[in-house]
DNA sequence: CTGTTAGCGCTTTCAA
DNA sequence: TTGAAAGCGCTAACAG
């Protein structure tokens, strides 16, 4: 009743398990054609499926790639996951998924679980945090990762290195030029906007958010504008919504007062927050871009049909996942390929309706 | 350098591996407190992480749940995946992800891969197809699943049973009342709409799509309306977009002709298609609901901020994933709980702006 | 309660 | 080229 084993196949074919193994799985040595055929027949007459656990045990490698995300239902992570999945398929590996909600403690657990499963590599997506409350967690995570690498594991992190992680072999970082791109966005926005700016950001210490804020401020400065006010809130839709509510008040107040001069351009540090903010403004009876302009970051695919179309920075999310995964995989076998960066992440400022000045 | 083993821990603690195993992993028997402490200390002084592969081999079970989706970046699947992930965590298992693009052949491969890894259970999301081209694939998939179940695997399918699968122990189906709900949607829509209806559907043979079409037609009939025309296209955004382009032509023609009487209400069999169709109409200069009404199905979370708000049928996607996963898990240990359905999937018609008749 | 002894299914030297 | 044997790390009978 139980799945049949290599030994059974071997017996049926009248050969040793060793030979059967050599035939059925890729071995350096090639058994005789006749024998090979017999084994293969026996194998599929028994419906033989190799036991990956046993193989893994014997070879001490599992063909598994661990992926850590905050939330797989978040389109940002889902897009990255797709890329990871594709790259995994290229390497003929399977992906193990862990959802952590973003806490380093859970991430550490996920790494340990992956290590236990002897995952060949681990991809960590999702912003790092350097808040003091996360300090211990980060340290533990770093330690766990360290150990994993020391035992031969490969890890790739999207965005920033894990805070406190020792640089070492097997540890890759796929850098995302959040700061530069946010700067560009600010520059381009400033060129067509003479009102004020306000930034809707995630909690201080969230590295991705901080980078984008910093970059945006720099861009503003380069454009000869003053620093924008920063509103800190949750790094998700509802955070954006709350901030939007606040801003709506303010905008309406400004409109009714005689001061009504410069309109506000809101930069939310990611698309999902931007959508939340936009929803709040709309709920308060404001229109975009008539009453306020708004821009996001990421260019989430599912959100592209949103109207007014959201100005944002396109990030090649799927590629990011792919690159990260490839970085942990076997070295490409091409010759000149090893000093070519396997993938430099670049983004693109994409201005759309949501930040157009009224005609 | 390599991860340390149970044997090493045991040696350091001065006990037998068996004892070490008993204290470190949940065994029925409890070793003495003093000994237990020694072992535990040894374990974390060595940074011991149990080798799940070895455990799996020995216990012949892996703590893995395989999840099969068409595309993890599709918000529909991402939402289900989140539910699966949560339920997996409840069962202290990890999820293995396979993305198939929807073909039964790939699905079969995924099942085989899961079987090779000795996944404890498999959850298959994504519409079944009964198109003739998929017939062979379905048969093979069914056979693979069969074998998997016979070897003690648990499988849950979302929506419909795999075409041709023999009903048997360990095979669960989480039914989704697509047809009924589509019927209700049609009824409610018909109550407030006196124009015509047209259905934008996926390819014939896609069971989910077919159910929704059938249900909608029935609802129309019950409301004393004639059958709606069905436009077949791809079961995704671009399918919706194409259909939308066609319809836009038609609508504009009707508007310019004197006939301009009944407006069109478009029912797209899923939200993503609906959004695509809406985008096409908009691109052609039409407005919703002024020039046409439109409704979808699923109530995808990310799409709720879309304007005009999309009328749709809310499906508890996350619960669906959860239920499916739970169905494959250990029986709940409560007493009366076993004749209580672990989860009946129900949906809810949700009418919003996109189908409002102009005031 | 603890230790000993076999495996789980496969790969891989090492001989033949 | 093939087979025999040892072992990957852990669990589970069975003894002690």
pLDDT tens sequence across B176-233: 999 999 999 999 999 988 899 999 999 999 999 999 999 999 999 999 999 999 999 9
In this predicted structure, what is the pLDDT of residue B254?
86
pLDDT value at position B29?
A: 65
User: Which whole number is the average pLDDT over B309-321?
Assistant: 97
A303 vs B contacts (CB less than 8 Å): 302
Closest CA to A152 of A171, A175, A165: A171
Q: What is the arithmetic mean of pLDDT over A181-210?
A: 95
Q: What is the pLDDT of residue A337?
A: 41
pLDDT at A11 over 50: yes
CB contact under 8 A, B115 and A49: yes
* B318/A contact by beta carbon, under 8 A: yes
Picking from A49, A96, A303, the nearest residue to B116 by CB comes out as A49
- Among the ranges given (A162-171, B15-24, B132-141), the one the predictor scored with the smallest mean pLDDT: A162-171
Tell me whether B227 touches chain A (CB under 8 Å): no
The reported pLDDT for the residue numbered A110 is 96
How far: A62 CA to D4 C1' (Å)? 27
Note the pLDDT of residue B191. 93
Q: Is A79 on the interface with B (CB under 8 A)?
A: yes
**C1' (D16) to CA (B58) span, angstroms:** 24
pLDDT higher than threshold 80 for residue B287: yes
Residue B343 confidence (pLDDT):
67
d(CA A272, CA B75): 14
Q: Please indicate whether residue B334 or residue A59 has the higher confidence score (pLDDT).
A: A59
Place B335 in a pLDDT band, splitting at 50, 70 and 90. Answer: very low
Chain A contacts of B116, Cβ < 8 Å? 49-52
Is any Cβ of chain A less than 8 angstroms from the Cβ of B323?
A: no
The pTM for the full model equals 0.94
Give me the residue from A52, A73, A79 closest to B117, CB to CB.
A52
What average pLDDT does this structure show over B8-28?
A: 86
- Residue B58 touches partner A, C-beta closer than 8 Å: no
> How big is the A-B interface in CB pairs under 8 Å?
146
Mean of per-residue pLDDT scores for chain B: 91
Is A78 in CB contact (< 8 Å) with chain B?
yes
A62-82 average pLDDT score: 97
Residue among A2, A112, A303 minimizing CB distance to B302: A303
All residues of chain B having their beta carbon less than 8 Å from the beta carbon of residue A64 are: 96
Give residue A254's pLDDT: 86
**Quick check: B275 and A305 CB within 8 A?**
yes
Q: Do B51 and A57 touch (CB under 8 A)?
A: yes
Q: Give the CA-to-C1' distance from B143 to D2 in angstroms.
A: 35
The alpha carbon of residue B117 is apart from the nearest alpha carbon of chain A, in Å, by 5
Minimal C-alpha gap between B49 and chain A (Å): 6
SS3 assignment for chain A: CCCCCHHHHHHHHCCCHHHHHHHHCCCCCCCCHHHHHHHHHHHHHHCCCCCHHHHHHHHCCCCEEEEEECCCCCHHHHHHHHHHHHHHHHCCCEEEEEECCCCHHHHHHHHHHHHHCCCCEEEECCCCECCHHHHHHHHHHHHHHHHHHHCCCEEEEECCCCCCCCCCCCEEEECCCHHHHHHHHHHHHHHCCCCEEEEEECCCCEHHHHHHHHHHHHHHHHCCCCCCEEEECCCCHHHHHHHHHHHHHHHHHHHHCCCCCCCEEEEECCHHHHHHHHHHHHHCCCCCCCCEEEECCECCHHHCCCCCCCEEEECCHHHHHHHHHHHHCCCCCCCHHHHCCCCCCCCEEECCHHHCCCC
Q: Shortest Cα distance from A329 to chain B (angstroms)? A: 18
- State which residue of chain A sits closest to B86, comparing Cα positions: A99
Does the pLDDT of residue B280 top 90, yes or no? yes
Chain CA centroid to CA A357, Å: 33
Q: Which of B60, B244, B305, B310 to mutate to test the interface with A (most CBs of A within 10 A)?
A: B305
Instruction: Share the mean pLDDT of chain A.
Output: 91
Q: How many angstroms is C1' of C15 away from CA of A18?
A: 14
pLDDT at A342: 58
Residues 141-170 of A with CB under 8 A from B: 147, 150-152
CB contact under 8 A, B3 and A151: yes
**Mean pLDDT confidence for A334-359:** 72
What is the distance in angstroms between the CA of the first residue and the CA of the last residue of chain B?
74
Is B71 part of the contact surface with chain A (CB cutoff 8 Å)? yes
Q: Residues B229, B231, B233, CA angle at the centre, nearest 5°?
A: 165
CB contact under 8 A, A53 and B49: no
Our CA-based measurement puts residue B236 at a distance from the nearest CA of chain A, in whole angstroms, of 12
pLDDT of B270 over the 90 cut: yes
Angle at A214 between CA A212 and CA A215, to 5 degrees: 65
For B221, what's the count of Cα atoms within 13 Å in the CB-facing half-sphere?
7
**B47 contact A CB<8A:** yes
Average pLDDT over residues B148-153: 90
**pLDDT one-digit tens code per residue, A275-330:** 999 999 999 999 999 999 999 999 999 999 999 999 999 999 999 999 999 999 88
**A259: closest CA of chain B, how far (Å):** 31
Residue A340: pLDDT above 70? no
Which of A53, A57, A170 is the best mutation test for B, with the most CBs of B within 10 A? Answer: A53
* Nucleotide with C1' nearest the A19 CA: D2
């Amino acid at each position: 009743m139980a799945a049949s084993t290599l030994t059974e196949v071997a017996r049926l074919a009248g050969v040793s398990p060793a030979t059967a193994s050599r035939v059925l799985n890729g071995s350096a040595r090639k058994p005789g054609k006749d024998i090979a055929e017999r084994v293969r027949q026996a194998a599929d007459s028994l419906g033989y499926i190799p036991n990956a656990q046993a193989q893994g045990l014997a070879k001490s490698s599992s063909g598994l790639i661990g992926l850590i995300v905050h939330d797989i239902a978040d389109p940002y992570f889902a897009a990255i996951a797709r890329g990871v999945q594709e790259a995994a398929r290229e390497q003929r590996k399977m992906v193990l998924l862990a959802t952590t909600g973003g806490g380093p403690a859970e991430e550490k657990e996920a790494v340990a679980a992956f290590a236990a499963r002897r995952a060949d590599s681990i991809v960590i997506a999702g912003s790092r945090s350097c808040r003091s409350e996360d300090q211990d967690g980060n340290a533990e995570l770093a330690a766990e990762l360290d150990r994993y690498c020391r035992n031969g594991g490969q890890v790739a992190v999207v965005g920033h290195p894990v805070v406190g992680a020792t640089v070492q072999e097997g540890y890759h970082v796929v850098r995302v030029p959040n700061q530069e791109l946010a700067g560009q966005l600010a520059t381009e926005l400033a060129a067509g906007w003479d009102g004020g700016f306000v930034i809707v950001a995630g909690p201080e210490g969230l590295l991705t958010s901080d980078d984008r804020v910093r970059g945006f401020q720099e861009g503003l400065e380069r454009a000869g504008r003053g620093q924008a006010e920063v509103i800190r809130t949750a790094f998700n839709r509802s955070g954006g919504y709350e901030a939007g509510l606040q801003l709506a008040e303010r905008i309406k107040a400004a409109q009714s007062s005689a001061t009504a001069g410069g309109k506000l351009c809101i930069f939310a540090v990611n698309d999902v927050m931007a959508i939340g903010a936009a929803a709040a403004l709309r709920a308060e009876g404001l229109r975009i871009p008539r009453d306020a302009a708004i821009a996001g970051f990421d260019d989430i695919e599912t959100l592209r049909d949103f109207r007014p179309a959201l100005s944002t920075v396109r990030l090649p999310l799927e590629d990011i996942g792919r690159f990260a995964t490839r970085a942990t995989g076997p070295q490409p076998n091409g010759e000149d390929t090893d000093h070519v960066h396997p993938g430099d992440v670049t983004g693109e400022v994409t201005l759309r309706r949501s930040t157009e000045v009224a005609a």
